[in-house]
Amino acid sequence: MFSKAVKENTLCQLLIVSTILTSGIILNGIQLLLHIFIKKLNKKLFDRLMYFVNFTWLAQCIFVYDYWSESEFVLHCTKEDFEYFGKEHNLAIFNHIYEIDWLIAWVLIDKFKGLGYARGFIKHTIKYIPLWGWFFGMAGHIFLKRSFDKDKVLIEKKISEYMKFPSKNCWIVLMAEGTRFTKEKYENCLKFAEERNIEPLKHHLIPRAKGFSTCVPILEKHGCPAIYNVQVSYDPRDENKPVLASLVMGKKIKTHVYIKRYPIKEVDPSFEFLYEIYKEKDALQDSMQKYGNFYEGRGLKKENGFTFKIRPRIFLNTLFWVLFEMLLIAYQAHKMIQNDQIMLLTGISVFIISLFYFMLKNILHLSKVSSGSTYGRGAEQIHTQ
């Protein structure tokens, strides 16, 4: 859709990133107003309006994946399970190997039209980070304080709210590993597994079961019908690495996502059950690392999976915010020129452009640094030493 020259142009990249950030600040303000004036008066209206706030911001992030980088998304599941997706509340258990796992979660959920009602478990400290933390905090995500008694009360309260959403399509995202895979964290997990006489995983950290065990009875109590095992993987032989920098620079990546559905009545809220899910994740990841697909390493016939048409509303939503930002800039610039404030305008422009440029370069730099954690291959290397 966009030429290579446009994608590689720093000003174009800057426009995309600055639009996401500036719209986020505006939406923070709208969220605050909704909490002050709407939430106590009409909770259903509050949830509906918050749906649109969530969608309009997260959809800009998805735009970078679907339209800007023209990345490819392939879903692997049974036809029977596919019929349920987008039609029921669920707890989706994702792996946490890659830098862009959260983005892929949003991409997946948007494919089934559930983006505005997507919620997740997040570390409590993130709640206080400007823009990102404020956005997810006011949207109603579950921020865990790592205090079991407090977290249990909060989880029940939040899940009860989610089950009452107007749409029966709330995806509750849980990354049970608690943190993203790194070599150091994996080595600690190997020690932990040896001490507890647990079979070590090869590509994942040992999942933390307390949150999962707490959630399942609450989910069943409030009528959530299923949990999903969601595995996000990439063929390590692909040219472009699955990092944020690749997407911002317009480089195409191919994401493979596997989903298996478990009816809630068949789910045991125990570490053993969760660990079996992660052993399945390990087998899927191992097959992807060796063969570039989820099937051959498990002795199954290779299948192509499901693909999706990208949704025009993702593009139109981002176009609206880009035009809004440009019109706002043009209006303010015209006003300052009329008031003979050219020097002030120049100073402010240089400051803002420099700030966003610094943030863009910081994003790209952090992605390059984090790619050193080897994105799943490190575990295999450690395991075979």
Residue (of 279, 235, 276, 241) closest to 257 by Cα position: 235
Per the structure block, which two tokens stand in for 227? Answer: 């949990």
How do residues 218-252 score in pLDDT, each as one tens digit? 999 999 999 999 999 999 999 999 999 999 999 99
Is 161 a domain residue? yes
Kindly tell me if the per-residue pLDDT of 99 is higher than 50.
Answer: yes
Kindly tell me if the per-residue pLDDT of 147 is higher than 90.
Answer: no
Q: How far apart are CA 25 and CA 249, in angstroms?
A: 24
Q: Which residues pair with 231 in a beta bridge?
A: 258
Is 93 a domain residue? yes
The H-or-E segment that residue 304 falls in is: none
Q: How far apart are CA 261 and CA 75, in angstroms?
A: 13
For residue 379, name the pLDDT band (cuts at 50, 70, 90).
very low
How do residues 38-78 score in pLDDT, each as one tens digit? 999 999 999 999 999 999 999 999 999 999 999 999 999 99
Is 226 a domain residue? yes
> Which range has highest mean pLDDT (39-48, 141-150, 175-184)?
39-48
Query: What CATH number corresponds to the domain at position 80?
Result: 3.40.1130
pTM reported for the whole predicted model: 0.92
Is 51 a domain residue? yes
Give me the pLDDT at residue 371, please.
47
Work out the average pLDDT over 141-146.
Answer: 88
Kindly tell me if the per-residue pLDDT of 86 is higher than 60.
Answer: yes
% of the chain beyond a pLDDT of 90 = 84
Give me the pLDDT at residue 382, please.
36
Q: Is 261 in a helix, a strand, or coil? A: strand
What is the extent of the structural domain holding 139? 4-315+370-383
Is 332 a domain residue? no
Is 365 a domain residue? no
Q: What average pLDDT does the structure give for the chain?
A: 92
Least confident of 27-31, 102-106, 310-314, 377-381: 377-381
Only one residue has tokens 């596997």, namely: 258
Work out the average pLDDT over 261-269.
Answer: 98
Is 114 a domain residue? yes
Phi, psi angles (nearest 5°) of residue 68: -70, -50
Are 133 and 127 a contacting pair, CB within 8 Å? yes
Burial of residue 127, with CB atoms counted within 10 A of its CB: 0-12 exposed, 13-18 middle, 19 or more buried: middle
How do residues 100-110 score in pLDDT, each as one tens digit? 999 999 999 99
Are 47 and 166 a contacting pair, CB within 8 Å? yes
How many domains is the chain built from? Answer: 1
Q: How far apart are CA 385 and CA 383, in angstroms?
A: 6
Q: How far apart are CA 92 and CA 171, in angstroms?
A: 6
Kindly tell me if the per-residue pLDDT of 377 is higher than 50.
Answer: no
Per the structure block, which two tokens stand in for 200? Answer: 């070590």
Kindly tell me if the per-residue pLDDT of 376 is higher than 60.
Answer: no
> Per residue in 46-56, is it b (16+ CB within 10 Å) or e — as a string?
bbbbbbebbbb
Q: Which conformational region is residue 220 in: left (phi greater than 0), alpha (psi within -120 to 50 degrees), or beta?
A: alpha
For residue 355, name the pLDDT band (cuts at 50, 70, 90).
confident
Per the structure block, which two tokens stand in for 35? Answer: 């909490």
Is 330 a domain residue? no
Are 185 and 179 a contacting pair, CB within 8 Å? yes
For residue 359, name the pLDDT band (cuts at 50, 70, 90).
confident
Give me the pLDDT at residue 363, please.
65
For residue 364, name the pLDDT band (cuts at 50, 70, 90).
low
